[in-house]
Structure 1
Amino acid sequence: MSSVAQKGLLALSIVFILAGLGLTIAGVFSPAWQVVDIREFRAEHQHGLWWDCIRAEKHVVAVGDFYDETPLHCMYKFDNSAEMVIENTLNNIDEDGAAGESEHHRFWAWHKAILFFIITSQLLAFLSICTGVCAPCFPPTAFVFTISLFIALICSLIADGVFFLAANRVDNRFVQGMVGTYEQRIGYAFYLHIMGTVCWVVAFICAITTTYKFISGRDPSGSKENLFTWQSQRAATHNV
């Protein structure tokens, strides 16, 4: 593989890492991981990883009037005041028909686990970008580039898997209203994160190829030029 193709493959890998980073960040900042339309409350509830949003719906009331939606009203799962409201609501579950839905606004351990793996994967992806940029000038960073990207990919896959399993549990999948039970659907935020993970898969495939070429490549004259000869040349330069 020529030097130009090698660097082009490295650049392509970095582009896919950046795309995956953007998609995963967009996913984690969106509340639409689980979405449910509670018809009796005429509201759409979006349950995210660290914040939840509610949108009250306006329906057609006369000829010529169009269906409209109000802005989202959001709250943080880790907000202490919101936690107190949820506790009070659950204590009055016999009197308040909406109390069952309040359970879905809590900051559960699986939310924290998913956030941990997502944030870790994003930090490692950023590290891989930094080391990938340095790889042409400093070949040993190619190892760090590939390893950090691989661990980022694993963490992202774990986050996707944990969410998918948790979201399909009966207690998380169904929301109890006053008179009915409603099924939550997986929202677009999860699919954004999935797309980011796929980008990292493609980036890792490119990274494996380019790292191998950085470690064992041949110059145009046909002589072996790899990481070990680079280290020997560097040591000889210091000795001189």
Structure 2
Amino acid sequence: MGSTAVQKGLLAISILLIIIGLGFTFAGVFSPAWQVVDIREFRAEHQHGLWWDCTRAEKHVVAVADFYAEEPLHCMYKFDRSAEMVIETTLNNIDEDGAAGESEHHRFWAWHKAILFFILFSQFLAFISLCTGICIPCFRPTAFVFTISLFLALLCSLIADGVFFLAANRVDNRFVQGMVGSYEQRIGYAFYVHLIGTLCWLVAFLFTLLTTYKFFAERYTSRSGAHFRSDVDPPLLEKYNAAPARPSPPVTYIREHTYRVTSA
């Protein structure tokens, strides 16, 4: 029996939410604005991402009517070997260079790598769930793979968000040391963009549970109807058109007369 309109509707909503979640998670991981800090003494805005960092010079006045003008971002990769050597040189001259303390936040720490692993692995699992979800109307057992892979993707994405939130609120990561003062970093919009993608997967997972239930409940109902007979069916013996048996003719008993012979 083909899938019903309700089953197809639930499946379509699940797949759509998975695609939206993938879009938000990709947008979050490619943005450098996971942690943002305005260092006033350097007249610059620093954006610290998971795998690359960007700086923007402070906005300046261009006219009375146009108060500020945007400056372009200047970015660097955390895993760039040349950038890592520059950071090491800067940290070695921390007594002479006041910007050395801020350079610590441009390093590729272990918690950055852990978050990236969980994010990329969750996106891979979500893609697997998307592919198996498309195959459900043709091969229903893939519904289990569809649900399990999306659950694992949701779990990995939640772990990534949780690890970042805890690491970003540590004192050594939350505050940036300048020449004359300390500046507090705030969580940027990239984290919230990724969190929206995680919430989309959460809602999609609820719909996948309903989808799997609908597909297999309908299958069980169809199987039950094929194996069990209703009470209105005729008895088994009545289904055979056997000819009625002809009754045997009655036996006729002949009464015998007994004669008694007597002597004269």
Cα deviations across residues 95-148 of structure 1 (Å, max 9, x unaligned)? Answer: 000000000000000000000000000000001000000001100110100000
Give 3-state SS (helix, strand or coil) of 1:40's partner: helix
Q: Equivalents in 1 of 2:66, 2:14: separation in Å? A: 50
How far off is 1:200 after superposition? 0.2
Superposition pairs for residues 158-237 of structure 1, below 5 Å? 158-217=159-218, 223-224=222-223
CA distance in structure 1 between the aligned counterparts of 2:214 and 2:16, rounded to whole angstroms: 19
How far the C-alpha of 1:213 sits from its partner, in A, is 1.7
TM-score for both structures, normalised by structure 1: 0.89
Structure 2 equivalent of residue 95 of structure 1:
96
Query: SS of 2:36's equivalent?
Result: strand
Counterpart of 1:57 in structure 2 is 58
SS in 2 for 1:22: helix
CA distance in 2, matches of 1:211, 1:130: 15
Q: Is the 8 Å Cα contact of residues 128 and 149 (structure 2) preserved in structure 1? A: yes
Q: What's the secondary structure of 1:107's corresponding residue?
A: coil
Contact 1:57-1:68 at 8 Å conserved across structures: no
5+ long unaligned stretches in structure 1:
227-240
Residue aligning to 2:246: none
C-alpha separation between the residues in 2 aligned to 1:59 and 1:180?
Answer: 22
- 2:141 is matched with 140
- Deviation per CA, 1:201-233: give whole Å up to 9, x if none: 0000000011112222259xx63479xxxxxxx
User: Match for residue 115 of structure 1?
Assistant: 116
Structure-1 separation of matches of 2:202 and 2:52: 28
Letter in 1 for 2:152: I
Report the structure, 1 or 2, having the larger helix content. Answer: 1
In structure 2, distance between residues paired with 1:75 and 1:120: 24
Deviations 1:29-70 (A, max 9, x none): 000000000000010000000000000013227644521121
Judge conservation of contact 2:62–2:69 (CA < 8 Å) in 1: no
> 4+ residue runs of structure 1 moved beyond 2 angstroms?
58-66, 222-226
CA distance in 2, matches of 1:149, 1:170: 34
Q: What letter is aligned with 2:18?
A: I
Distance 1:225 1:3, change over 3 A: farther
- 1:217 match: secondary structure: helix
Q: Secondary structure at the match of 1:59?
A: coil
Q: Residues of 2 paired with 1:24 and 1:61: CA distance?
A: 37
3-state SS, counterpart of residue 67 of structure 2: coil
* Matched AA of 2:206: I
Aligned amino acid, residue 128 of structure 2: L
Task: State whether residues 31 and 49 of structure 2, in contact with CA within 8 Å, keep that contact through their aligned partners in structure 1.
Answer: yes
1:1-80 pair list within 5 angstroms: 3-60=4-61, 63-80=64-81
Mapped to 2, the partners of 1:31 and 1:101 lie a distance apart of 16
Structure 1 distance, partners of 2:208, 2:70, is 45
Give distance in 2, aligned partners of 1:57 and 1:14.
Answer: 43
Q: What letter matches 1:114 in structure 2?
A: I
Q: Identify the structure with the greater strand proportion.
A: 1
User: Kindly, what percent of the aligned residue pairs are identical?
Assistant: 80
Quickly say closer, same or farther: Cα 1:141–1:178, change in 2 above 3 A.
same
Q: Structure 2: any 5+ residue segments left out of the alignment?
A: 226-264
Matched letter for residue 8 of structure 1 = G
Q: 1: distance between equivalents of 2:97 and 2:166?
A: 30
Whole-angstrom distance in 2 between the partners of 1:128 and 1:205: 14
